[in-house]
Chain A
Amino acid sequence: MNTPDPNVGNLRAPRWLTPFGLFALLFFIGAQLTAFFISPPERDMGNLQKIIYVHLPGAWLMGVAYLVVMVASIGYLWKRRERQDLVAASAAEVGLVLNGLTLALGSLWARPTWGVWWTWDPRLTTTAILFVIFAGYFALRSFVDDDDRRARWSAVVGILGFINFIIVYMSVRWWRTLHQVQSSPETLDSPYVLGVRLNAIAFLFLMIFFIAYRYHIARIERATQSLEEERALTGGAVHV
């Protein structure tokens, strides 16, 4: 028997998701092309400078994604809605990807400009610490079987991790005196500013799409799981 589950109807992807994803992708391509063509090769770095259009927005949006984790986690502990936990987990996953991307691209950039793959610069170090903190978040999630417990515990770990972000940054900054001012549109020359801003918006759209899509998948996973549990309990054969 293949009686449709009444909940499955709700599991369809929201109507806006696919068009929005396409729009985000096109916007990203457009922003990259625009940035490439409007910016002249940099005086010292040449075309190497162009990595900034993925590195910098990636780093910013990593922060935004982790902020979403923090807000959704506080929301979960307060209201206890399952979807808040799923949003937090989805945002953490996207944040971790952006975090890894930031580290990898930064490393690629550091090699030709600073001559080393890695240096104990405050921002590099903070980004790496953030990566291990949120990797721990996923380690915890994967070891807890009970949904409710996983949601509560990972919410707490996510909030504490985000709080630590500020302390980590301060401590690492004191540890290694800052040798380069934080990149922001104010510190960049004007032809590059537009490119960075455009790509930051493109990354924002992509991030929203990825989180929404991951959240959608997480809901399907959750529904499949409860369906299987239900079938196992009622002893009925599993129909595929």
Chain B
Amino acid sequence: MSAGHEWSRVSAMVWKDLTAEWRAKASFHAVVFLAGLILMLFGFALGPDQDALAEAGAGIIWLTLLFSGVLTFNRCYERELEDGAFEALLLYPGDRRSLFLGKLLSNLAFLLMVELLILPAAALLYGLPILESVLPLAVVLGLGTLGFVTLGTFYAAMASRLRAREVLLPLLLFPMLIPLLLASVEATGALLEGDAMGRAAGWIRLLVVFDAVFVTASFLAFEYVIEE
């Protein structure tokens, strides 16, 4: 099948998922509120020294995103599994990797929207100067989220079909994400401090490598996960 045809399948998947999300809204609200809550909890755990909080800001932002974002991945498959819709999706002709790409992109859109709300909240709570380097921060956030969503969507394709999905997904996912967490936190932290030493560039390169490796690897391996 042609690439154009596959692309229309991907966009149909994204459209379907985002429409369902838009109409229900419940899960979006839940994730945003949970993220906000975690932000506050970090404040209580590490505060109230404003300087210490600002210093830990980058780490807090990324852990908040990881802990709240991990809830979205299983759910995106559960919706399909509930009424056996997943089997139907698999029966459609065409490349099954389009399913993965569709899920990946809709999860990416979902999490980027969450971040759009969470980042200003974190900046307010912890006094982080995000406006001074908005563009490079957006690049770091985009690259970090892409890697997170790629592996999350991939591992959830397995975990969501098992009994212990809530425990198993973070157990599989978080160890794999450690390089991504390191690179994202270091790059974000450097940018928030003005990046006078140009430290962020190296970490951004690492994020690009991480994304390239795992987008490719999980795209190739998805067929093995999904076949029954």
Binding site for B on A (CB under 8 A): 77, 129, 132-133, 135-136, 139-140, 143-144, 149, 152-153, 155-157, 159-161, 163-164, 167-168, 170-172, 174-175
Contacts and interface: CB of A to CB of B under 8 A. Distances in A.
Among B210, B214, B224, find the residue whose CB has the most chain A CB atoms closer than 10 A: B224
Given A77-B224, A143-B162, A133 B176 contact: yes
Q: Which 10 A-B residue pairings sit nearest by Cβ, starting from the closest?
A: A171-B179, A132-B175, A133-B175, A136-B172, A167-B179, A156-B221, A143-B162, A171-B182, A136-B171, A139-B171
Interface string B27-53: 000000000000000000000000000
A163 to B, nearest CB: 6
B117 interface: no
A174 B186 CA distance: 10
B194 interface: no
A175 to B, nearest CB: 5
B134 interface: no
A175 B225 contact: no
Contacts of A143: 162-164, 168
Contact of B206 (A136, A149, A171): A171
Interface string B156-183: 0010001110011001101110110011
Nearest to A151: B224
A160 B182 contact: no
B82 interface: no
Contacts of B72: none
A170 B206 contact: yes
Contacts of B221: 156, 159-160
Interface of B is mostly: helix
Among A153, A168, A170, find the residue whose CB has the most chain B CB atoms closer than 10 A: A153
Contacts of A144: 162
Given A157-B158, A170-B179, 17 more contacts: A136-B172, A136-B175, A140-B172, A153-B158, A153-B225, A156-B224, A157-B155, A159-B217, A160-B176, A160-B217, A160-B218, A160-B221, A161-B176, A164-B179, A167-B179, A168-B179, A175-B186
Contact of B214 (A132, A135, A155, A160): A160
A133 B173 CA distance: 9
Among A129, A156, A174, find the residue whose CB has the most chain B CB atoms closer than 10 A: A156
Nearest to B174: A132
27 contacts: A129-B178, A132-B174, A132-B175, A133-B175, A135-B175, A136-B172, A136-B175, A139-B167, A139-B171, A140-B172, A143-B162, A143-B164, A153-B158, A157-B158, A159-B217, A159-B221, A160-B217, A161-B175, A161-B176, A167-B206, A167-B210, A167-B213, A171-B179, A171-B182, A174-B202, A175-B182, A175-B186
Contacts of B203: 174
A152 B225 contact: yes
Interface in B186-225: 186, 202-203, 206, 209-210, 213-214, 217-218, 221, 224-225
B97 to A, nearest CB: 14
Contact of B183 (A149, A157, A171): A171
